[in-house]
Amino acid sequence: MADRSRMLRRKDKQEKEADEKTTDGKEVKNEGENPQDNGGGPSAVPLSANDATDNGENGDLQVEPMELPPFEIIAGDRIDPFAFKFQFKNVEYSSGRNKTFLCYLVDKGKTADGLLRGCLEDEHSGLHAEEAFFTQCLSDYDPSLKYTITWYMSSSPCSACAAKIADVLNSKKNLKLSIFAARLFEFEEAEIQAGLKALLKAECKMRMMKPLDFSYTWDTFVENEDQPLNLWEDCKDNYEYYHEKLSDILQ
């Protein structure tokens, strides 16, 4: 009975997902009308006459395929609130979420640096946020220090990033990494599962983000203007769904 209820919920969520992208896209568009240098999502760009063609007798416009812009890593201290609500939402069907947001905390132990905090954002292809963290945020890596690193991610690493992370952790034993992910990326693929297992073997602590983690990330890494986060209705159910899937993979 529980499995059947879960299947019904997933069917309902899949049907709602088609509307979700449009709704969140409008929010990001409105935010883009007042741009801020906070690393948030891009503002919407009006279509030109060359970007669309007539589709059928009803005169609807059909957007022509367009080449994606060059890949870019965006670094900052805070995330745009609309981008956070869309990209970090732990839905089971992540249509339209083509970026990875990585919020990090770095504790170097007994140093004058204190706790380092920041955010990375990527999109499309090329250098991913996980790899950019090690090249940009740990550019002054000191093998004599003990690093305790925490990531809050919009989705778990892809297979290539998981392999690179595991290599870093295996070669630099003074780095301890914990990953809290909002969603599992393509977790049904064998290579993704192998990558997650490689992270576990490299002593990376990994779990799904709980409702409290979303609130903490909102308070710590989002340009929230002192407004609290109103969690979506199925946040806890989706956490439990992903938690079960991750446990099955890592057992």
| C-alpha 219: how far from chain center | 16
Continuous H helices in the chain: 2-32, 81-87, 129-132, 159-171, 190-201, 211-221, 235-250
61 bridge partner residues: 54
Under 8 Å CB-to-CB from 122, ≥6 apart: which residues?
Answer: 71, 72, 73, 74, 99, 100, 128, 129, 132
Give the pair of three-digit tokens for residue 184. Answer: 């599992």
Please calculate the CA angle 42-23-61 and round it to the nearest 5 degrees.
80
The type of residue at 105 is L
The type of residue at 202 is A
The CA-to-CA distance between both ends of the chain, in Å, stands at 25
Please calculate the CA angle 109-114-118 and round it to the nearest 5 degrees.
110
Residue 130 annotated to the active site:
yes
Q: Determine which one of 130, 186, 240, 244 is catalytic.
A: 130
Active site residues: 130
